[in-house]
Amino acid sequence: MDNIAGSKSSLTWAVHISTLLLVILWVFPTVGLFVSSFRTGDQIATSGWWKAMLPSEQVITLRTASPDEAMQEIDGVYVVEGNLFTEQGSLDIGAFGTSSRDPAAAEPGATFDMGDGETMTVLPNGDYRWTSTEELSGRGQRVFVTAEIPPEFTLANYDTVLGQGVLQSLITFAAGSIVVGFAAFWIARQIGFAGPKGVGFIVGILAFALLTWIYGIGTGIRTGAGSDDMGKAFFATLTVTVPATIIPIVVAAFAAYALAWMDFPGRALLIAAIVGLLVVPLQLALIPLLRFHLNVGIGKGYLGVWLAHTGFGMPLAIYLLRNYMAGLPRDIIENAKVDGATDFQIFTKIILPLSFPALASFAIFQFLWTWNDLLVAKVFLIDPTQGTTVMTDQIVQLMGSRGGQWEILATAAFVSIAVPLVVFFSMQKYLVRGLLAGSVK
Amino acid sequence: MNPAIQGLMTIVFGVGGCLAYFFLSNVVLDTFIFPAKGKNAGRNINRANMVRPWLFLFPALLVLGLYLAYPVFETLRLSLSARLPGGGYEFVGLDNYRQLLNESKFWEALRNNFLWLAVVPAASTAIGLLVAQLTDRISWGSAAKSLIFMPMAISFVGASVIFKLIYDTRPAALEQIGILNAIWLQFDGGIWSTITLKVVPAFIIVAFGIVCVWIAWLLVRPMIQKGSRPEGPFIKVVRVILAVLALLLAFKSVTGLISLLSATLAYGQPQTWLTVPFYNNFFLMVVLIWIQTGFAMVILSAALRGIPEETVEAAIVDGAGPFQIFFKIKVPQIMGTIVVVWTTITITVLKVFDIVFAMTNGQWETQVLANYMYDKLFRAFDWGVGSAAAMVIMLLVTPILVWNVYNARKEMR
């Protein structure tokens, strides 16, 4: 377009640069969380995460050797000599001091007067010389050293938050699920299913969910860190999400078929009602449904949450699927009818396989929505022993109790957003398609 | 029972049960109730086909009725009644609403909700449209879109943690680990600080005010000018209400401008952003804008692609510049989609709960209706007032609900 109107290269450059800036601005917050989850608490507290790639200047506390063991008397002066870095690797010292009030009192190489006739000299490589006019005894002298610490990343946060070694298991499962997904893709293509890629993705994700689930039962993912246990919460979220994603699809698909391809009085009215229900705030449903659940004995357990998510997802499911099914070619259905197929057969043998893209779109929506939900879980899923706390709820609790411990918070939050991000990036096509079909026009 | 096994059984029974229900009910209908044989075969087939749709619809309608339609009426009933000490309910008329209107927290929540309504849909739609246009013609556009779309997958709670890290505050002597404070401390009160923190925001506020006045004028103009299409009284009322709201916003932007210019900024002091009254609302809104922009972008990008190429080419031939093409050719053609995006985000804003709950829990004057309602229901256990607050949210959603249903019906005809 720009070329037709006479090349405006400066405008093209402006477009590229402003797009790049917007993308950086949008990605920056998430990257911060990601990077922070691999840093120790000390690192997070002493420097911004955007400096994580650079070496950071930190004050570390070291101790000289004990005078009882290492003191020598040279020309009437008592001297303790040695190197500060006995236990850890050597660092390049930028400044040192012996008081916590002024940890950077002297330059390396200079002689620092500690008072009471004592002096301290520290060289950049950690060699020190501690002198005194009187005899020294007791423990070694504390020395505060300012040094450049090279960037360092750790997986320890994930071990704390999920339990020892769980992250590694999850990665193994993910690899396994990818293999399973590819197998499903190949089989689906051989059979000739519409959308074999989507089948592969969904089977892969389900395989991952199942593996994690079974792992949670078998070895007890919950051996992690007591009340902060995100492993248990991860498991609870999965338990909520999987049935709450699958069940509404089945119920809605039949209804959508009836609304799309069967003629009966009141059809238009029903469709309009569903469009209306699309926007009813679920806040209205909380109290009546909670009372209903308590009255019929479902209580505040998983069953209640599955039913609630099924209900709240239903209008969107029916709306999306109906719109898609109504767009399928009429000929196929009429030919099948002429050949003597019943409605049930048409639905299961023709409509359902052809509607796969719409089913996938809704499945992603419902998955993301149930996985990320806080309100429904907080109202319908309460267990006094905290056995069923989902991840979003757990994180909110952590924000209260561990407000300052960013390494725990960031890791917990990243654990909870990792799965949706994978789903998002692998199935973006279906998500976009669903959004385009689902927004009421 | 182990929850995972319970879950698996629910899937098996739920899915299997549904399929069995659909299959068996069809079989029963065709072979026992209205068998397609004997002397009434023809009539039976017709009757069976009359009943069948309802068989297909029954489970879905049951769920919809029980989980969405019934609660609306039940909440309405609860909002008009009070719980008796011994159990049971008593009709109290509008008492709950009266109590609601007397609470300052409610008015604060309502004010904040309107603030959210004014800012979030506008900002998300505008940035989304900008990104959609920018990425339309560049080679790496789909990658850029994918990254801006990404926050859609992140939960409101996860996003709250992400932004809490951004807004984090540490004492002045220590190094700041929140990026916002780290940037803030770069400002020292010099000329650049004045330009970025006073002049640029002042321009934005002035532009916003002018747009508001312009919108108000557009709304009122057809009623003043002669020779315009006659309209029903209902539309006139809506026009006047919207125009008054727009003028109110314009007035607000003038007062905002004054307070901005007269404020002395605490340079060199790390700020606890989420505790600054009024402005902390905007820091919370940023989270939702960050999430919703991707949604707006995806829809608007598809709409931009759908614009007939000839219209753009004709404009180029007539000598229109890129900005004219965008504002005078493209935007008017996708106006319908912009309205859809706007209303969809408006609905999301009205229901916003998680962000406020996780970041401030309504402290420091950041309360919103959904969180206020949650507070009333599950902390104060005042179901009457809580239900009344829920009805207020429903009331705010209703115009959009009606509009959507109206459009859907128009489209089906």
Q: Is the model's pLDDT at B145 over the cut of 70?
A: yes
According to the model, what pLDDT value does residue A224 have? 45
Q: With a cut of 80, say whether residue A339 has pLDDT above it.
A: yes
Query: Do the chains contact at A283 and B3, CB–CB below 8 Å?
Result: no
Residue A54 has phi, psi (to 5 degrees) of -95, 155
Over residues A82-86, mean pLDDT = 76
C-alpha distances in angstroms, A216 versus A1, B46, B79?
56, 53, 43
For residue B45, give the chain A residue with the closest CA: A342
pLDDT at residue B122 greater than cutoff 60: yes
The DSSP 8-state label assigned to residue B78 in this structure reads H
Q: Which residue has the higher pLDDT, B37 or A276?
A: A276
Closest-CA distance, B105 to chain A, in angstroms, reads 18
What single letter denotes the amino acid at residue B29?
L
CB-closest option in A268, A399, A417 to B154: A417
Residue A7 has pLDDT above 70, yes or no: no
Q: What is the mean pLDDT of residues A217-234?
A: 57
Tell if the CB–CB gap between A375 and B354 is shorter than 8 Å. yes
Q: Which CATH number fits domain B104-175+273-413: 3.40.50.2300, 1.10.3720.10, 3.90.1150.10, 1.10.760.10?
A: 1.10.3720.10
Kindly report the number of other CB atoms within 10 A of residue A359's CB atom.
25
Bridge partner residues of A63 (DSSP): A142
**pLDDT tens-digit series, residues B273-286:** 888 888 888 889 99
More confident residue, A431 or A3: A431
Of A396, A282, A413, A406, nearest in space to B356 by CA: A396
Over residues A380-402, the pLDDT tens digits come to 888 777 677 888 888 888 887 77
Higher confidence at residue A165 or residue A285?
A: A285
CB atoms inside a 10 Å sphere around CB B337: 21
Q: Which of A13, A21, A26, A262 to mutate to test the interface with B (most CBs of B within 10 A)?
A: A26
Q: Residue A216: its pLDDT value, please?
A: 61
Show the CA angle centred on residue A267, arms to residues A264 and A273, nearest 5°: 155
Per the CB < 8 A criterion, the answer to whether B329 and A1 are in contact is: no
Residue with the bigger pLDDT between B127 and A95: it is B127
ipTM over 0.95: no
Full 3-state SS string of chain A: CCCCCCCCHHHHHHHHHHHHHHHHHHHHHHHHHHHHCCCCHHHHHHCCHHHCCCCEEEEEEEECCCHHHHCEEECCEEEEEEECCCCCCCCCEEEEECECCECCCECCCCEEEEECCEEEEECCCCEEEEEECCCCCCCCCEEEEEEEECCCCCCHHHHHHHCCCHHHHHHHHHHHHHHHHHHHHHHHHHHCCCCHHHHHHHHHHHHHHHHHHHHHHHHHHHHCCHHHCHHHHHHHHHHHHHHHHHHHHHHHHHHHHHHHHCCCCCHHHHHHHHHHHCCCCHHHHHHHHHHHHHHHCCCCCHHHHHHHHHHHHHHHHHHHHHHHHHCCCHHHHHHHHHCCCCHHHHHHHHHHHHCHHHHHHHHHHHHHHHHHCCHHHHHHCCCCCCCCCCHHHHHHHHHHHCCCCHHHHHHHHHHHHHHHHHHHHHCHHHHHHHHHHHCCC
Q: What mean pLDDT comes out for the span B245-262? A: 84
Residue to mutate among B25, B147, B152, B162, with most A CBs inside 10 A, is B162
Window 364-403 of A, Cβ < 8 Å to B: 368, 371-375, 378-379, 388, 392, 395-396, 399
Residue A351, pLDDT > 50, answer: yes
Name the pLDDT band for A440 (thresholds 50, 70, 90): low
B70, B159, B377 member nearest A286 (Cβ): B377
Strand order in the sheet with A56-63: A56-63, A142-149, A93-97
CB B348 within 8 A of CB B285: no
pLDDT of residue A360 exceeding 80, the answer is: yes
Instruction: Compute the average pLDDT of residues B72-83.
Output: 84
CA distance A242 to A239: 6
A1 and B10 within 8 Å at the Cβ level: the answer is no
Q: How many CB atoms lie within 10 A of CB B231?
A: 12
In eight-state DSSP terms, residue B82 is: E
Of A326-335, B98-107, B169-178, B244-253, the poorest mean pLDDT is in B169-178
Please calculate the CA angle A248-A251-A253 and round it to the nearest 5 degrees: 100
| Range A176-181 average pLDDT | 89
pLDDT in tens, B351-382: 888 888 888 887 888 888 888 888 888 887 78
Chain B residues touching A388 at Cβ < 8 A: 3
Domain ranges of chain B: 3-69, 104-175+273-413, 186-267
Which residues numbered 26-85 in A keep a CB inside 8 Å of some CB on B? 26-30, 32-33, 36, 44-50
CB A258 within 8 A of CB B372: no
pLDDT at B77: 85
Lowest mean pLDDT among A151-155, A245-249, A437-441, B181-185: A437-441
Per-residue confidence band for B85, with pLDDT thresholds at 50, 70 and 90: low
Residues of chain A contacting residue B69, judged by C-beta atoms under 8 Å apart:
277
Q: What is the pLDDT of residue B287?
A: 92
- State the amino acid at position B120 in one-letter form: V
Does any CB of chain B come closer than 8 Å to the CB of residue A13? Answer: no
Residues 6+ apart with CB under 8 A from B353: A283, A374, A375, B156, B368, B370, B371, B374
Residue A6 pLDDT more than 50? Answer: no
Q: Find, in chain A, the residue whose alpha carbon is nearest to that of B127.
A: A22
Q: Say if residues B393 and B369 touch (Cβ distance below 8 Å).
A: yes
pLDDT at A228: 53
pLDDT category of residue A225 using cuts at 50, 70 and 90: very low
Instruction: State the CATH class of domain A156-438.
Output: mainly alpha
pLDDT digits (tens, 9 = 90+) for B168-193: 888 777 777 888 888 887 777 777 77
Contact A367, A202 (CB under 8 A): no
**Residue A227: is its pLDDT beyond 50?**
no
- φ and ψ of B368, to 5 deg: -125, 165
Scanning every residue of chain B, which has its alpha carbon at the shortest distance from the alpha carbon of A37? B162
Write down the domain spans for chain A: 9-51, 56-149, 156-438
Q: Which residues pair with A115 in a beta bridge?
A: A118
What Å distances lie between residue A64 and A101, A115, A143, B71, B289, CA to CA? 19, 17, 7, 72, 55
d(CA A86, CA A82): 9
Q: Tell me phi and psi for residue A73, to 5 degrees.
A: -110, 120
Which stretches of B64-188 are assigned E, i.e. beta strand?
81-83, 89-91
Which range among A277-286, B35-44, B304-313 shows the weakest confidence by mean pLDDT?
Answer: B35-44
Q: What is the pLDDT of residues A18-77, one digit of tens each?
A: 889 999 999 988 888 888 888 877 777 777 788 777 776 777 777 787 777 777 777 778
